[in-house]
Amino acid sequence: MKFSVITLFPRIVEAFAAEGLLAQARERGLLALETVNPRQFTEDVHQTVDDRTFGGGDGMVMKVEPLARAVATLEPGTRVVVLSPQGRLWQQSEAAAWAKEGRPVAFVCGRYAGIDHRFTVKYADDEISIGDYVLNGGEVAACAIIESVARLIPGVLGNAVSAARDSFSERLLECPQFTRPREVEGMSVPAPLLSGHHAKINEFENSVALVRTALFRPDLLSAEAELQPAVKVVGALNDNELYALGLTREDLKELQ
């Protein structure tokens, strides 16, 4: 899958994609990444990419023409995404859909006060935000989205199962994970996880996922979710096991 990033700061994105699993995926030909600097497409000696805003607002706005010329260099069929705090919120379900589809994507990164909105109206297939906060530029947002999609491209993660059970994949937060030793500072790995019985482990992890989602991200829970059997499973743990899950008896009472 090919990602292009149209940015005035290509080194931010290149440094990010030169490390870890993304770098390995690029080496193995599972994904390609290019950066395109709109300064290349200016026609004046100062390589001007921005100008003052009409209406007297603060700061500079990125001009339409250099960005439009940068878009013209993209492979035909590329999905053009403008990154903006005003876009719709990025979601795991969409990361999965993009990874499956494999269509090339180009991210247009704003800087300063943002991008002349006429560029978005004319050239963007999509306007996406990574959260309700404002960054200095779109590069971090592009990196976040690229990573969330890339890790779902078959073969990018060593073990495909590790992504299938991640938080949000089944709409819930994932059950917390533990490693050795079994006891640390008064916290115990919950016994059901040590049972070696796959169906039991699955049932326990699903119950914990439901309970933690109900407590910490109730917005993710569907109205049909059956909470009480899960509360009962988690309630059977001892205090040290509950502590390890970041839960208290009071939390469970709140859900009853």
Ligand X SMILES: C[S@@+](CC[C@H](N)C(=O)[O-])C[C@H]1O[C@@H](n2cnc3c(N)ncnc32)[C@H](O)[C@@H]1O
Please report, as ranges, the residues that interact with ligand X according to CB under 6 A.
83-86, 109-111, 113-115, 129-131, 133-138, 141
Among 12, 20, 252, smallest CA distance to 156 is for 20
Whole-angstrom distance, CA of residue 214 vs CA of residue 237:
18
**Choice between 27 and 58, CB closer to ligand X:** 58
CA distances from 123 to 11, 76, 140, 142, 227 (A): 24, 13, 21, 17, 46
Residue nearest to ligand X (CB): 110
CB of 12: closest distance to ligand X in angstroms?
12
Nearest approach in angstroms of CB 221 to ligand X is 25
CB 159 within 8 A of CB 171: no
Pairing of strands 126-129, 32-36: unpaired
Nearer to ligand X, 137 or 176 (CB): 137
Tell me how far, at minimum, the Cβ of 147 lies from ligand X, in Å.
14
Minimum distance between the CB of residue 50 and ligand X, rounded to whole angstroms? 11
- Closer residue to ligand X, CB minimum distance, 141 or 173: 141
Query: Phi and psi (nearest 5°) for 108?
Result: -105, 115
Residue 58 C-beta: closest distance to ligand X, Å = 9
Which tokens hold the place of 230? 């899960």
138 vs 190, which CB is nearer to ligand X? 138
Encoded tokens for 136: 């200095």
The CB-of-55 to ligand X minimum distance in angstroms stands at 13
Whether residue 84 contacts residue 129, with contact meaning beta carbons closer than 8 Å, is answered with: yes
Q: Which is nearer to ligand X, 25 or 67 (CB)?
A: 67
Nearer to ligand X, 6 or 99 (CB): 6
The beta-strand segments (E) located in the chain are 2-6, 32-36, 50-52, 60-62, 79-89, 105-108, 126-129, 183-184, 187-188
